[in-house]
Amino acid sequence: MVEWTPILRPAEIAEQRLLEAILTGRFAINSSLPGERDLAEQIGVTRPTLREALQRLARDGWLDIQQGKPTRVRDYWREGSLAVLATLAQSEVHQPADFIAHLLEIRLLLGPTYARQAFEAAAGEIARLLDESQSLADTPSAFARFDWKLHSRLTHLAANPVFPLLMNGFEKLYVLVGERYFSFEECRAHSRGFYARLQVCAQNADASQAETVMRETMQASLALWLRLNRS
């Protein structure tokens, strides 16, 4: 089956060109964009098409649009949304050197808590899910998608309803970053050991130990990523 690349609409083309200009610094953080007429001419689109692109970028946290004022490029690291992270995940050239390390640090902060809560609620279901890890293909994509499935399910089983709300916005980003992380054979081997340890916790319905395993593994994953990217 042939996979066709969708043809971009004019507003999507304008959005991509504006994003590239922001990420390369042509339109610097906290600077003002040119007026609509000039900007539309520069990009090669109509003004209504430009407005659509600007509204989409404002929604995702790249731009600040206020009636009667020039459109401002936001400090997207401080004023952006999860959509900013997803865009940066797809653009390695524009990522800071410690981008993935920062994401691993966030997972280290959250993972132990949602693991404990999930194991308290449904250890048997988690054990059945972890059975799938025993037949994982040894590819970055397979590991990234299973790891997403596992962590997403843990957040949905956790008692705190905010966890799944946070995780739901991360799927595309999680898989993209996961494929980079799991491109290292050592990272895949490390996670196989993690899944096996977590399986024992599930079989024993030991939520406290699951929390410990999650914390130790997330700490080791961060250290592993930093070491592999220094070599």
101 phi and psi angles, rounded to 5 deg: -60, -40
Domain with CATH 1.10.10.10 in the chain: 10-80
Query: What are the beta bridge partners of residue 72?
Result: 32, 64
Distance CA 51, CA 62 (A): 14
The CA–CA distances, whole Å, from 197 to 91, 126, 127 equal 34, 12, 11
In 3-state terms, what secondary structure has residue 165? helix
Domain with CATH 1.20.120.530 in the chain: 99-228
CATH superfamily of 99-228: GntR ligand-binding domain-like (1.20.120.530)
If you search the block for the tokens 């037949």, which residue do you land on? 135
Tens digit of each residue's pLDDT (9 = 90 or more) over 26-40: 999 999 999 999 999
Asked whether the whole model's pTM tops 0.75, one would answer no
Tens digit of each residue's pLDDT (9 = 90 or more) over 180-227: 899 999 999 999 999 999 999 999 999 999 999 999 999 999 999 889
Q: Which CATH architecture has domain 10-80?
A: Orthogonal Bundle (1.10)
